[in-house]
Amino acid sequence: MDVATKPDSVGVVRTLSYEIEQERLPFRLALGGEIKNVTIAYETYGKLSAARDNVILIVHALSGDAHVAGYHTAHDKRPGWWDFVVGPKKAIDTDRYFVVCSNILGGCSGSTGPSSLNPDTGKPYGILFPMITVKDMVFAQRLLLEHLGVERVLSVIGGSMGGMQALLWGIYFHDFVQSIVPCATTGRLSPQNIAFDEVGRFAIMADPNWRGGDYYSHKPPARGLATARMIGHITYLSKASMLEKFGRQPSIQMGKSWFEPSFSVEDYLHHQGTTFVERFDANSYLYITKAMDIFDFFKEWEEAPQHDWSKGPKVLIPAFSSDWLFPPEDSKALVKAFKRRGADISFIEVSSDYGHDAFLLEKSQLSPIIRDFLRYVQEED
């Protein structure tokens, strides 16, 4: 069957671009910098209702993009990164909801980031790109939704760094958002998380091809970025999932040298590193991981305008038992904070061996949780 005609798929979709209007520029950043021109890449699925009350914003994780569901061509081998959740009759039912997903500010999949042209130089920004925060990503998304004519959002849903964005939607745009679903996330990174990010950034900057971030007319720092991705992927899995998936199976390559891959887990990591380099920008990786490191939801919550959480938004926080990157304890800390504010808060710990990546893989368990919560939000509104 042609992927474009699968009955449970949104079919072939295309990525669109929104250029923030000149009267709204420059785009001022939380840490004091500014960007003169901003483009946000996005995709939409389903139709906006006449009442404009069926909007769901999906926000992606570190390496994600706007392509959350469907296919870009009829011959694509793989659909969008959360296709099992988004589509006709799925948990986020595109026959019922108008779904928006955008590539984050600072990204490299169509949105303005370090690889974009600096209007002052006519060359890619590189590390001249100003430092961004998760808050900046959210405020850029808010302008996109306004551009699309969205007057209220039924839910903002995201996992990992997407969950961080969902949390900030709740405190900065509480009157605009009916609910948030921060999934497999945390209110702030632990020192261990920051350490992993720093090792990844060090690998990129130690690559001689990084050239101080000015590599766009030269070979990219592929080995450094691949190494960063390999480190990251280890944190996304669990001991149990790695044992089941790889065990101590030998490498399919079995190189002549002892220091070429000997085990299948090494093949996997090399594959992840190589394919990541083909689609991601090293400087974006530096900026996005640093934005995650400095993210502190609890601090922002104290400094943001306060409101009555008993009147919304409603909150659902799913966590996964084997997630050691953002463990269930991190989610429980968020739950306690929301309860103290009087929020309508639901928490569920899903039993899974998939580790942090469970939010991208646990179709049978996660789908009904999201579906039921969205219906609850609509019924209670």
Confidence band of 252 (pLDDT split at 50, 70, 90): confident
Q: Which amino acid is at 347?
A: F
Q: 29: Cβ–Cβ under 8 A, 6 or more apart, which residues?
A: 35, 130, 131, 132, 133, 136
**CATH code for the domain of 206:** 1.10.1740.110
If asked whether residues 109 and 174 sit together in one domain, one would say yes
**d(C-alpha 349, C-alpha 317), whole Å:** 9
**CATH code for the domain of 355:** 3.40.50.1820
Q: Tell me the two tokens of residue 170.
A: 């709740």
pLDDT of the residue at 253: 75
Count how many residues are written for the chain: 381
Instruction: Summarize pLDDT for 268-323 with one digit per residue, the tens.
Output: 999 999 999 999 999 999 999 999 999 999 999 999 999 999 998 999 999 999 99
DSSP symbol at 124: B
The domain total for the chain is 2
**d(C-alpha 163, C-alpha 180), whole Å:** 9
Contact between 200 and 232 under an 8 Å Cβ cutoff? The reply is yes
pLDDT of the residue at 1: 54
**Which of 255, 290, 325 is the last residue before a domain boundary?**
290
**Is 90 exceeded by the pLDDT of residue 23?**
yes
Confidence band of 258 (pLDDT split at 50, 70, 90): confident
Instruction: Summarize pLDDT for 236-251 with one digit per residue, the tens.
Output: 999 999 999 999 999 9
If asked whether residues 201 and 184 sit together in one domain, one would say no
Task: State which residues form the domain around 284.
Answer: 193-290
Confidence band of 380 (pLDDT split at 50, 70, 90): confident
Cis preceding linkage at 182, omega within 30? no
CB atoms closer than 10 angstroms to residue 369: 18
Q: Tell me the two tokens of residue 43.
A: 């995709």
Provide the b/e sequence for 333-365 (b: ≥16 CB within 10 Å).
ebbebbeeeebbbbbeebebbbbbbbbbbbeee
**Is 70 exceeded by the pLDDT of residue 194?**
yes
Confidence band of 162 (pLDDT split at 50, 70, 90): very high
Confidence band of 257 (pLDDT split at 50, 70, 90): confident
Relative orientation angle of helices 282-294 and 161-172, to the nearest 10 degrees:
50
Across-strand partners of 59? 158
If asked whether residues 167 and 313 sit together in one domain, one would say yes
State the chain's maximal CA–CA distance in angstroms. 65
- Give the residue-averaged pLDDT of 206-210: 98
**Which of 260, 290, 320 is the last residue before a domain boundary?**
290
Q: 217: Cβ–Cβ under 8 A, 6 or more apart, which residues?
A: none
Distances (CA, A) of 62 to 145, 216, 222: 21, 21, 18
pLDDT of the residue at 285: 98
Half-sphere exposure of 217 (CA within 13 A, CB side): 5
Q: What percent of the chain has pLDDT over 90?
A: 93
| Spatial CA neighbour of 104 closest among 230, 280, 303 | 280
Q: Nearest-5° angle of CA 216, CA 236, CA 71?
A: 65
pLDDT of the residue at 2: 67
Cis preceding linkage at 328, omega within 30? no
| Spatial CA neighbour of 309 closest among 331, 335, 333, 341 | 341
- Give the residue-averaged pLDDT of 58-87: 97
Cis preceding linkage at 26, omega within 30? yes
pLDDT of the residue at 312: 87
If asked whether residues 149 and 259 sit together in one domain, one would say no
If asked whether residues 153 and 198 sit together in one domain, one would say no
If asked whether residues 163 and 198 sit together in one domain, one would say no
Residue owning tokens 């699968």: 6
pLDDT of the residue at 254: 63
CB atoms closer than 10 angstroms to residue 191: 6
**Is 70 exceeded by the pLDDT of residue 255?**
no
If asked whether residues 55 and 150 sit together in one domain, one would say yes
Confidence band of 260 (pLDDT split at 50, 70, 90): confident
Contact between 114 and 285 under an 8 Å Cβ cutoff? The reply is no
Distance of CA 23 to the CA centre of its chain: 28
If asked whether residues 199 and 51 sit together in one domain, one would say no
**d(C-alpha 13, C-alpha 44), whole Å:** 8
Instruction: Summarize pLDDT for 351-374 with one digit per residue, the tens.
Output: 999 999 999 999 999 999 999 999
Distances (CA, A) of 213 to 4, 29, 39, 112, 154: 39, 21, 21, 16, 40
| Catalytic machinery residues | 160, 323, 356
